[in-house]
């Protein structure tokens, strides 16, 4: 990995730390401002709704501005609003809190979609899996450090200090992008065909490795605009995405729904297990989880060809992750709990790397739309899961809630796995290390999936 990329990765890790520090600080602060648990939920729902809307718009935005510009703008906006929150922390009006969470929700989605879409350009197609591994590793470490430092930071300097640190982390990320100027977009070279035949709708995203992606003028009947204005923006986002690839995105949303259950249930279990020191249980769990994600990156970056099976690898990883999270709520002794959390983290990191690398294998011009769709699915699943899991925990034990939610994820993964196996059996395609199941080409014959996924030895890895 080149030094420029390492520097951008370090700045992103700092931003991730600030995000997870703020996740706890803003939740507690929301309760102080609104005075009710319903108010806290409403603020969280507003943030998720903002991220949902941003996911719908992210693909269109990527066609009107460079990804680096979008990322810098998102960081700058979030840094500015957190700076204002820090100054007004002693007497924050409700309208300012609402405006801040809208900016944070949309900014995070715009940044994440642009970053994920830009990885193949920044590091090269053959190195994207290792880059995704570093992204997952940095975010995991940011999660643990952010959660662990929230209490002492707030205790020492109040919410103002927590908000200021979060704002500073955004500015560090924006400054790195401004100074280092990483390449995030391919140079557009209009062809004679594209000049003669303007685009009339979203292009087909190739999920079948034996078929090239539809380029300008190809497959117009199959991907014509879905009902115009009556079709709605959501249909426009989904148009042209083949069923198997769409299945991966849907499973990602189901995974987010399932993950919400253990996020809600873990504090309950921690208080029941160690009433005097629930934070110790939380710290042990998330630290072990973070170690597992790092191990996943280390394993995947050394694999070449075998094990990098796209949809099948993603589905199997989702099953392993859900079963591991359920095991963590079986009332295990401390050592076994740490092992279950590490196993869940390993599977979580595995699925994140494989999933992101698979979506990055599509042609560059379709990547923003696809990652925007993924953001919508994840935001929707997590929001719905948080509400449903919290309600279920009022009457059911934590183990039952986590088991049911993650059972849904396992069922979804098995459906995707069966569909992938049937498809490969019918086509006779052979799994490769490309993040899909064979090489893909865009409409001009450029390979988008010929790299080693998830972890060719040659090439950088990034966070």
> What pLDDT, in 10s, does the model give residues 429-446?
444 433 444 333 333 333
pLDDT in the model for residue 267: 85
pLDDT in the model for residue 251: 95
Q: Are 346 and 31 in contact (CB under 8 A)?
A: no
Question: Over 70: is that where the pLDDT of 252 sits?
Answer: yes
Give the range among 31-45, 53-67, 198-212, 366-380 with minimum mean pLDDT. 198-212
pLDDT in the model for residue 199: 44
441 — phi, psi (to 5°)? -130, 145
pLDDT in the model for residue 229: 43
208 — phi, psi (to 5°)? -90, 110
How large is the average pLDDT for residues 311-321? 93
Q: Which residues contact 138 (CB under 8 A, 6 or more apart)?
A: 9, 10, 12, 13, 16, 463
Could you tell me the pLDDT band of residue 216, with boundaries at 50, 70 and 90? very low
pLDDT in the model for residue 214: 41
pLDDT in the model for residue 439: 37
pLDDT in the model for residue 240: 58
Residue of higher predicted confidence among 319 and 2 = 319
pLDDT in the model for residue 37: 66
Question: Over 90: is that where the pLDDT of 129 sits?
Answer: no
Considering the chain, what is the average pLDDT of its residues?
A: 79
Kindly state the helix (H) or strand (E) to which residue 288 belongs, with its residue range.
helix 278-300
Question: Over 70: is that where the pLDDT of 399 sits?
Answer: yes
Radius of gyration of the chain, Cα coordinates, nearest whole angstrom: 22
Q: What pTM was estimated for this model as a whole?
A: 0.73
Residue of higher predicted confidence among 439 and 66 = 66
């Amino acid at each position: 990995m080149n030094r420029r990329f390492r520097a951008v990765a370090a700045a992103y890790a700092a931003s991730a730390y600030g995000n997870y520090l703020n996740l706890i600080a803003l939740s507690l602060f929301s309760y102080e401002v609104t005075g009710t648990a319903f108010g806290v939920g409403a603020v969280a729902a507003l943030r998720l709704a903002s991220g949902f809307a941003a996911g719908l718009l992210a693909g269109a935005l990527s066609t009107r501005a460079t990804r680096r510009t979008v990322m810098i703008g998102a960081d700058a906006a979030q840094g500015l609003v957190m700076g204002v929150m820090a100054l007004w922390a002693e007497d924050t009006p409700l309208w300012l809190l609402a405006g801040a969470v809208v900016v944070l929700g949309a900014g995070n989605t715009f940044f994440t979609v642009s970053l994920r879409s830009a990885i193949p350009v920044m590091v090269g197609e053959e190195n994207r899996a290792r880059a995704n591994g570093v992204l997952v590793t940095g975010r995991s470490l940011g999660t643990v450090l952010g959660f662990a430092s929230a209490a002492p930071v707030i205790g020492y300097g109040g919410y103002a200090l927590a908000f200021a640190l979060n704002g500073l982390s955004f500015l560090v990320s924006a400054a790195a992008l401004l100074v280092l100027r990483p390449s995030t977009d391919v140079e557009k070279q209009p062809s004679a065909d594209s000049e003669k035949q303007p685009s009339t709708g979203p292009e087909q995203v190739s999920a079948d490795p034996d078929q090239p992606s539809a380029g300008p003028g190809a497959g117009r009947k199959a991907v014509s605009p879905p009902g115009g204005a009556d079709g709605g923006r959501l249909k426009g986002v989904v148009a042209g995405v083949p069923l198997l690839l769409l299945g991966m995105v849907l499973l990602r949303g189901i995974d987010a729904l399932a993950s919400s259950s253990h996020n809600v249930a873990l504090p309950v279990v921690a208080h029941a297990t160690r009433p005097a020191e629930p934070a110790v249980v939380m710290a042990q769990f998330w630290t072990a989880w973070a170690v597992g994600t790092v191990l996943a990156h280390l394993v995947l970056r050394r694999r070449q060809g075998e094990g990098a099976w796209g949809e099948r690898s993603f589905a199997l990883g989702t099953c392993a992750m859900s079963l591991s999270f359920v095991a963590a709520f079986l009332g295990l002794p401390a050592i076994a709990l740490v092992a279950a959390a590490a196993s869940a983290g390993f599977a979580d990191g595995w699925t994140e790397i494989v999933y992101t690398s698979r979506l990055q294998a599509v042609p560059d011009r379709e990547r923003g739309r696809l990652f925007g769709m993924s953001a919508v699915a994840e935001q929707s699943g997590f929001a719905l899961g948080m509400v449903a899991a919290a309600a279920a925990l009022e009457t059911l034990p934590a183990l039952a809630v986590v088991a049911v939610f993650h059972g849904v994820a396992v069922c979804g993964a098995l459906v995707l796995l069966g569909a992938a196996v049937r498809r490969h059996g019918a086509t006779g395609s052979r799994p490769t290390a490309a993040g899909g199941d064979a090489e893909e080409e865009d409409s001009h014959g450029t390979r988008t999936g010929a790299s080693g996924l998830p972890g060719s030895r040659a090439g950088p890895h990034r966070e």
